[in-house]
A and B are shown apart, each in its own frame.
Chain A
Amino acid sequence: MLTKEMLTILSTGKDTGWVAEPEAKRLFALAGLEIPRFVCTDRTEEAVKFAREIGYPVVVKVVSPGVVHDSESGGVVKGISTNEALVASLDGIRQISGFAGAIIEETIEGIELIAGAKMDEQFGPTVLIGTGGTGAKICRDVTFGMAPLTEVDVEWMLNRLKGFVFLNGFRIAESFNIKPLITSVVRFSDLVMDLVDVMETIDVNLVVCSGNRCVIENARIRLNPEYC
């Protein structure tokens, strides 16, 4: 069920047709999915204070209505590990046209996956899982499932990924627990079912898993034009 707060978030995207950062992640958090600790601000002092609180390294991302693919616009700086570097990154990001603020968030390290959803013409709401990172852009390794998904469905989908051997490798080497990942994908699929009349596509790039955590690092929702 979409709560009033979720509906308010969705309606903020009606003008542009998109719900992007940071609203998309807030929506995910309300749906019971874990997101990185972050602050959204245009003030340098607040950014530095937050970074020192949570500890370096941090990531800085631009908030701009004009930027949807933020990694391609130079709007994302990763691996910032000092106050000076943070200040410099913020100065750089302010130059991006349409700058409306910056997100400073904790760095999560672990196994990288992508997820997504689309309203398929033949099958209605479908969810995608894939291996993430640079390699994934070269060899598309994704699998689809018709929503709503059960835990069995998700496990089945993960097994079909070519990259599943790496996931399994990590399970042994990094004591990564697959259970939170499965739970998160099931919750994501439930959210997709709630959004059937609202969304056209959802991109989650990336989902980062480590230990018992499964964190949504970035998400955006393209809204159904009829909803807008």
Chain B
Amino acid sequence: MDLAKLFKPESLAVIGVSLTNESHPANVVYNKNYLHHHLRVYGVNSRGGSIRGERVYRKIGDIPQAVDLALIAVKAELVPSVMIECIEADVKGAVVVSAGFAETGADKLQDELVVIAREAQFPFIGPNCLGVFAPPRIDTFFIPRERMVKPDNGRVAMVSQSGGVLTDQMVKCAAEGVGLSVAVSIGNKALIKEADILRYFAEDPDTDLITFYVEGFGRNEGRDFVLAAAECRKPVIVLKTGKTQGGVRAAINHTACVAGDYQVFSDVMAQKGIVEATDEFEMVSFAEALSCYPKNIEGRVGIITSSGGHGVLCADACFSHGLTVPAFEEPLQKELREALSPIIRDIASCSNPVDLTGSSTDDDFIKAATCLSRNPAVDCIIVLMLPYIPGVTMDLGARLGLVYQQEGKPLIAYVPHVEKYRMLVEGFNFNNMPVAHSVEDAVHMAEAMKRNRLC
């Protein structure tokens, strides 16, 4: 099945727009796409009429132009017949927003949809989902535009069984400067499953990394997903829920998913080099880290800091996460020391962690980062930025970003995330360096690089 028109449609029919209720989910979708997105939008309602001065068509077949994607937001029992009309009108795919299928016990109705779609090779996302968010092309989320926190456009694809979790992840992505190529809420995933979407985005030139929020896989679906990931040359991150008895019960009520044996899930992900995030924060951190540096590292970390205490914190965290902080040999220490400004040369510690002290300046950080980037003793560098020391300026983010771009060794920065230091954070972000909001978070990012074995 060709999924291209689900994610990059040129025209959209919104089936189920209300003529009287402006806040109906279908109207929210109609309005935001009509006003803001780069595609042709048509309203469909069996009673006809008009909204916003535009004609509302009685059925999809009445629309005179070709329609790529249908958004179906009618009552559950009407969805099968509407889907048949879409197929007859040669629509290329659908997003079924309507709820009232397997998640409420109406498995038969859901199965009916799958049979219809499979026979016609008609791809659809859902039911019980928000669909596709990919501005400026399309946005089928029935959340008013002013209520959404929009992340930047970028190269991460986020896929989720839960529209709510996805929307919240987008808020966190916006805060952390993680840009998205697309966000997809797949709901009950009756026909199009994680593995199908993974195969599509593995080939998508606009996407570098794919994340999944998974409650559970159906029969052998996990196997199919893992095999698809093994073929994918991009990092894949998974956040699994339904790990505990209580979570398993909640997942069944939410998307009718059987959550399965969690240890098997976790072990198989690790076996195949898929990076499992343990919580919602890790998911965003991992996405940030691996979208900046999508390759595998062994995990030999070089730490650069201006505070000795932070260096110790970071070294402890590295060891407890299976990373090493190798002590530097004398020649490397000498090379480092000679590169530093005279004022700190005798007080800096040039083993690992490299403690540049509170008297250091931007240039010392650049020299140390460049030196470690060129030395094979480490394959990842964590820079602990304490912007309150007087010699450090807001330009350091962009300058260290340049070191990463020239040298190619992954650099992760820790900067306290407060408004005052925002320019420094953006300097890193805009130059493709991940920025952590805590020392521990920086170490998690390095750990994600170690666990990412797909590329």
Contact = CB atoms under 8 A, between A and B. Distances in A.
Contact of B267 (A121, A122, A144): A144
Interface stretch (B157-165, B257-265, B275-283): B257-265
Interface string B216-249: 1111111100100000000000000000000000
Given A144-B263, A146-B223, A146-B226, A121 B258 contact: yes
A114 to B, nearest CB: 15
Contact of B219 (A121, A126, A157, A160): A121
A122 B271 contact: no
B327 interface: no
Contacts of B220: 122-124
A153 B220 CA distance: 20
A65 interface: no
A142 B266 CA distance: 12
13 contacts: A120-B222, A120-B264, A122-B217, A122-B220, A123-B223, A123-B264, A124-B220, A126-B268, A144-B264, A144-B267, A144-B268, A146-B271, A156-B271
Interface in A131-162: 142-146, 153, 156-157, 160
A160 B276 CA distance: 15
A122 B263 contact: no
Contacts of B221: 122
Q: Which 3 A-B pairs have the closest CB atoms?
A: A122-B222, A144-B267, A122-B217
A121 B220 CA distance: 6
Contacts of B271: 144-146, 153, 156-157
A121 B248 CA distance: 15
A142 B268 CA distance: 13
A153 B230 CA distance: 13
B221 to A, nearest CB: 6
Which interface class (under 10, 10 to 19, 20 to 34, 35 or more) fits A?
Answer: 10 to 19
Interface in B164-223: 216-223
Contacts of A122: 216-223, 260-261, 264-265
B217 to A, nearest CB: 4
Nearest to A124: B223
Contacts of B217: 122-123
A157 B221 CA distance: 22
Greatest chain A CB density within 10 A among B219, B263, B265, B267 is at B267
B264 A126 contact: yes
A226 to B, nearest CB: 14
B270 interface: yes
Interface of A: 120-124, 126, 142-146, 153, 156-157, 160
Interface of B: 216-223, 226, 258, 260-261, 263-265, 267-268, 270-272
Given A144-B263, A146-B226, A123 B258 contact: no
Contacts of B264: 120, 122-123, 126, 144
B263 to A, nearest CB: 6
B83 to A, nearest CB: 28
Given A142-B263, A144-B264, A145-B267, 11 more contacts: A121-B219, A122-B219, A122-B220, A122-B261, A123-B223, A123-B226, A124-B220, A144-B271, A156-B271, A157-B267, A157-B271
Contacts of A160: 267, 270
Contacts of B219: 121-122
A122 B269 CA distance: 12
A153 B272 CA distance: 9
Contacts of A120: 222, 260-261, 264
Contacts of A124: 220, 223
B267 A143 contact: yes
A146 to B, nearest CB: 5
Contacts of B261: 120, 122
Contacts of B258: 121
B272 A146 contact: yes
A146 B260 contact: no
A162 B142 CA distance: 48
Contacts of B218: 122
A26 B145 CA distance: 67
Contacts of A157: 267, 271
A143 B265 CA distance: 11
A120 B217 CA distance: 11
Contacts of A142: 263
Nearest to B227: A146
Contacts of A145: 267-268, 271
A160 to B, nearest CB: 7
A126 B265 CA distance: 10
Contacts of B270: 156, 160
A145 to B, nearest CB: 5
Contacts of B263: 142, 144
A144 B270 CA distance: 10
Greatest chain B CB density within 10 A among A121, A142, A153, A156 is at A121
A149 to B, nearest CB: 8
A120 B223 CA distance: 10
A9 to B, nearest CB: 27
Contacts of B223: 122-124, 146
Nearest to B453: A156
Nearest to A156: B271
B47 to A, nearest CB: 45
A124 B261 CA distance: 12
A224 to B, nearest CB: 14
Nearest to A122: B222
A126 B220 CA distance: 11
Greatest chain B CB density within 10 A among A123, A124, A144 is at A123
B196 to A, nearest CB: 16
A182 to B, nearest CB: 15
